[in-house]
Structure 1
Amino acid sequence: MSKQSLPLLDAGCCAPITEPLAEADAAQAATAFKALGDPVRLRLLSLIASRAGGEVCVCDLTAPFDLSGPTISHHLKVLRQAGLVDCERRGTWVYYWAIPERLGQLSALLDIPAAVAP
């Protein structure tokens, strides 16, 4: 999946939203939040993002779960489709890494300025 950005959030790192999201931007963000709404995917993302060196082999992502390899692969595919992680095949293994820009965009959506908060 290509790395796409939400145009309203390109004003700087973690800049708060200053105007409502466009319909397409909201749909794109909702896809990512939906992907994170599953506990397995949230744990997978945390395992990938917290890994020293910034990437992790899929072989190291199966042991922490009581799930089959195909199920883990499905969850990783959902994270990739949401643009939260990317991967690269190296021989027989696939290595995953988080996409910090995308995670920053989602974080900015939740950063409500204090002046707006009730």
Structure 2
Amino acid sequence: MLEASNNSELPTIPGKRYFTIGEVSELCAVKPHVLRYWEQEFPQLSPVKRRGNRRYYQHQDVILIRQIRALLYEEGYTIGGARLQMESSTEKVQGVQLQQVLPQMIAELEGVLALLETPN
């Protein structure tokens, strides 16, 4: 769910490293005060704050905001429902990553065990 298909009417995200709140507002069709509110409601969304508490969003933040926007505006979720959906999607990704890493970890541990069992 990185790039929702229903975000096709939104402009493409430029290849910049950081975006201001105004730029993100235009890229995601969401007003700046809504972005600030979502920062409080969605713990995954945490832009970098610099000079005078100015917010700078990264590429993954823009994608996350578009996901939140799609859940709230297109799919009709409440804030709480969207938060739960985002958390469960994060847990699924972490579970898949764990399943991919687990066999490698087991093989490495078996190798260490074989080394320990081998007489010197």
Greater gyration radius: 2
TM-score bracket for the superposition, by shorter chain length: 0.3 to 0.5
TM-score (norm 1): 0.33
Larger RCO (CA within 8 A; separation ≥ 6): 1
TM-score (norm 2): 0.32
Q: Which has the higher helix share?
A: 2
Q: Which has the higher strand share?
A: 1
